[in-house]
Amino acid sequence: MLNYIAGFLFGIFSGLIPGIHPNTVSSVVAEVLPASGIELAIFLALVYVVNSVAEFIPSIFLSAPSEATSLSLLPGHKMLLKGKGLQALNLAFHGAAVGSFFFVIFFIPTLFLIKPILKFASKFMFWLLLLIVGNAILKERKKLLATAIFLLAGTLGILSGKLPLGSDALLFALLTGGFGISTIAISLMRDEKIPKQEENAGKPATKIVWPALAGTFGGLLVGTLPAVSPSQAIYLLSSAFSISGEGFLTALGAVTATSFLFSLVTLYASGRARNGTAVLIAKVVSLDLFSLLLLLAVSLIGLLATILILKKLSGRIIKLFSKLDYFNLNISILLFLLLLINFWIGPLGLLVSLTASSLGAFCQLSGVKRTNLMGMLLLPTMLFYLGL
């Protein structure tokens, strides 16, 4: 029971504080926690799933995203400026809850589909990605400019990938710069004011089942395919199925909630780990069917418990946020992120992040969708599937 509580608390901690990735927490604590085998595996799983829900709070309210929630800034910040921050948060929570339900439905079929999916991906994933990216760019009003930004972002992703930076650190630098720092900088430049936030989220204005189903499919992609991240998956899904606005947040909630669950299924069915926490779990326990079912059950319970607890506390979060001076808050967060990148990743990470932030700011000022910045991750992924 102590491991369960510790996993929950560390998950909340890593989710609420920008830059603290659950893989980092798990790898450090795994060395000192007096537990082993399935008990340690349960702790690691809880840290990850609890984090996947909690990290929406700093992403929406502080413009400080993780890799998984970076795209939530796009509709989340807009809703915050309309006084609907609580509704944005609840949309992500609803997506996570409904996505968990869909995961239970798709669990058994997924066990038998893992190997065919991996075989398909090795042959056709490049062309599928190219088709979806092309479709997204064709929907842009400024198609040439969108193409240029996608390619520039992709070039940044390729070049920065050759730097001596860890994968988690590199993702944080790229996405915090492109989506977090650029959002804060433009907000300061425009002297944006946050209106009084509605304390009653009410019912979602759009249906959540379809976006959550699409997000669950995105979680399947992230949990099974190499080199596909949550932010990439939601970009692809939103482009392919025209998911936007409130539906975008719901789908993203489902992606982040289910991707780890699907990664456990992939680990059991194929022996391949798709994220750092799954790698650690594979090292501490031999994942048989009983262990898999136990980890999934605990993860689902932890996920739903976190949603319920944070929904209860969300009203207090709104009241606390409404008392803060938004300009000074933005300055503080900007300085915190820059110092974090400099001291954690180093000057190279800071250079990467500031370059990404300049692209993000240019997108906002030129009227091109910032989703084109996903070229930072998608172009290297497309080259990976092309064998280059």
Nearest-angstrom CA–CA distance, 38 and 199? 41
Structure confidence at residue 227 as a pLDDT band (50, 70, 90): low
Nearest-angstrom CA–CA distance, 81 and 83? 6
State how many domains the chain has: 1
Q: Which domain holds residue 162?
A: 2-386
Q: Contact 267/277 with Cβ under 8 angstroms?
A: no
Q: For residue 17, how many C-alpha atoms fall within 13 Å in the half-sphere facing its CB?
A: 12
* Residue predicted with more confidence, 144 or 203: 144
Give residue-wise pLDDT tens across range 33-54.
Answer: 655 678 888 888 888 889 888 8
Give residue-wise pLDDT tens across range 137-166.
Answer: 887 788 899 899 999 999 999 999 888 887
Q: For residue 322, how many C-alpha atoms fall within 13 Å in the half-sphere facing its CB?
A: 15
CA angle 191, 194, 198 (to 5 degrees): 170
Structure confidence at residue 300 as a pLDDT band (50, 70, 90): very high
DSSP state of 198: P
Give residue-wise pLDDT tens across range 249-269.
Answer: 888 889 988 989 998 998 888
Task: Name the pTM for this structure.
Answer: 0.79
